[in-house]
Structure 1
Amino acid sequence: MLSKLLELYARNGFSLAENGIPSAIIPIKYSPQVLELLFHSQIIILGGDIYERDENGNFYANYANWYYEGNDSKESLFSAKNYLSKCNPNEFVLFVFKE
């Protein structure tokens, strides 16, 4: 599962290192695949931040986000899926996972 998730991010994700953020974002249109890969992992998604890309190709946070405060991985996936289903598929998501 982890190798498939890393491959998905390697092929379709973008680093935010140039923004000073040691994380990666992925287009929202790939979020169903991310959530499917996480379904059996017991990883809790604490929330996420939504990013857009400007005309120069730079990424910026549009200050849309969601959070989950529970301890159930399936509920956290449902929360993420529900929020992301309302987003523009041309936007990008930075998932925040519980360690």
Structure 2
Amino acid sequence: MNRILDLCSHLGESLRGNGIENFAFPMREVDSILELYKTNRVLILGGDIYIKNLSENFVPFYENWFYEGNNVEDSIIKAQDYIRMFKGKDLYVCFVA
């Protein structure tokens, strides 16, 4: 779990300015994050997609997903499937775990 916290502090950007106690990760880092979640058996309950505006502030992209099961592998597959359509775009992902 310490590795996840390290990754959050190095790769993630705080969403505190949006009133959210979580991190947003650049789309290019999502595979690394999901692999780490899988290794540490972290259940992903869903997530939100963000974009940065011209002032470099996060704003909702109004895309999200959720998972209602309790299987870690299925939750990660659902996240991967959803995020796949946004790969290569300058967007950010916030995971709810």
For 1:44 and 1:9, locate their aligned partners in 2 and report how far apart those are by CA, in whole Å.
16
- What corresponds to 1:81 in structure 2? 80
- What corresponds to 1:69 in structure 2? 68
- AA in 2 matched with 1:7: D
What value does the CA root-mean-square deviation take over the aligned residues? 1.2
For 2:23 and 2:68, locate their aligned partners in 1 and report how far apart those are by CA, in whole Å.
22
- The one-character-per-residue Cα deviations of 1:33-90 (angstroms, maximum 9, x if unpaired) are 0111111322210110000001110100111001111110000000011111111441
- AA in 2 matched with 1:23: N
- What corresponds to 2:54 in structure 1? 55
Unmatched segments (≥5 aa) in structure 1? none
Q: CA deviation at 1:21?
A: 1.4
Q: CA deviation at 1:22?
A: 1.5
SS in 2 for 1:71: coil
Identity %: 35
For 1:13 and 1:78, locate their aligned partners in 2 and report how far apart those are by CA, in whole Å.
21
Mean Cα deviation higher: 81-90 or 52-61:
81-90
Which has more helix, going by share of residues? Answer: 2
For 1:40 and 1:16, locate their aligned partners in 2 and report how far apart those are by CA, in whole Å.
25
Unmatched segments (≥5 aa) in structure 2? none
| Runs of 4+ deviating beyond 4 Å | none
- What corresponds to 1:91 in structure 2? 91
- What corresponds to 1:45 in structure 2? 44
Aligned residues: 96
